[in-house]
């Protein structure tokens, strides 16, 4: 997801800065892994380009592990792609 998002920033965003954030976040009793890639470029615009599979593929891969993918306007003005993934049981501290 990070690789695809950074490729998108380089290809499409005309950004000056890009920020990658990875963290853990509590949602009630469960802990989620949050991964965000935000840029200060031109943003998505109104009409998503049809026939492209990068964003679709990210949605599908995140859904496969019961996560969610959100696209938002980044605080810096460009696009922010955020994935929230349930923490795998193997990583849970006893």
Residue 39 in 3-state DSSP? strand
Q: Which residue is nearest to Mg ion (CB)?
A: 54
Could you tell me the smallest distance in angstroms from the CB atom of residue 57 to Mg ion?
Answer: 9
Could you tell me the smallest distance in angstroms from the CB atom of residue 87 to ligand ADP?
Answer: 27
Does 5 bind Mg ion (CB under 5 A)? Our answer is no
| DSSP-derived secondary structure letter, 63 | H
Alpha-carbon distances of 16 from 8, 37, 82, rounded to whole Å: 13, 14, 19
List residues binding ligand ADP (CB under 6 A): 8-9, 11-13, 39, 41-44, 48-49, 52-55, 78-79
């Amino acid at each position: 997801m990070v690789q695809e998002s950074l490729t998108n920033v380089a290809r499409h965003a005309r950004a000056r800065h890009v920020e990658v954030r990875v963290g853990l976040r509590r949602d009630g009793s469960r802990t989620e892994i949050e991964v965000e890639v935000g840029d200060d470029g031109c943003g998505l615009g109104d009409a998503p380009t049809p026939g492209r599979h990068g964003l679709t593929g990210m949605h599908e891969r995140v859904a496969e592990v019961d996560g969610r993918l959100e696209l938002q306007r980044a605080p810096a003005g460009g696009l922010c792609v955020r994935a929230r993934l349930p923490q795998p049981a193997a990583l849970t501290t006893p």
